[in-house]
Amino acid sequence: MKNILPIFLLLFASLSCITDDSVPFNGIEFDGTGYRPIYATAEEVAKIQIQEPRLLSKPGKIYLLDPYIFVNESGEGIHVINNSDPKNPENLSFISIPGNYDMAAKGSWLYADNMSNMVVFDISDPKSPKLTKTIADAIPVNNYPSFRNIYFECAEDKKGIVIGWEKVPMSERPKCYR
């Protein structure tokens, strides 16, 4: 038994030093794709605008405040739609909010995330929403994608603020995994 202990310790020490990038995390092999951060400057993140209506391309959450529907455009803002006539909904406007993924509405107020900030709009006239307040750093933000069991490029603060993630082909496995 005493002869096995040194062999076991040697085997354990050699296995703990494996740094081969071909060894998968949690059994998930690298498939040649990963997520890359999308960066913006602080000025770009703070730029909130009411714009002309546009087509939905990446719809996210939907909120109903009868007769209006608010549809999140993942990472970009909120569509304001008049649904008084459900057979002919009318796209009224688009609120451009960088880093927007969530929202809620009550009465004449629309609440939305703008990265780590919460923004509040007066929607008493939904055709013309008005930004009334920005609450800085109200929402915790993580510098990694919300998906699990994925490889991604590590975020670098010096490149700006991460406002989203895009799945792209990668020639080598990124250093970060979640």
Write down the domain spans for the chain: 42-135
CA distance 62 to 42: 27
Q: What is the mean pLDDT of the chain?
A: 87
10 exposed, middle or buried (CB, 10 Å; 0-12, 13-18, 19+)? exposed
CA distance 178 to 69: 34
Q: Is the pLDDT of residue 55 over 70?
A: yes
pLDDT given at position 3: 61
Lowest mean pLDDT among 17-26, 35-44, 47-56: 17-26
| Per-state percent for the chain, helix, strand, coil, to nearest 5 | 10, 40, 45
The domain 42-135 having CATH identifier 2.40.10: the answer here is yes
CB-based contact 159:39 (threshold 8 Å): yes
Residue positions counted in the chain: 178
CB-based contact 167:34 (threshold 8 Å): yes
Q: Is the pLDDT of residue 129 over 90?
A: yes
pLDDT given at position 32: 92
pTM of the full structure:
0.73
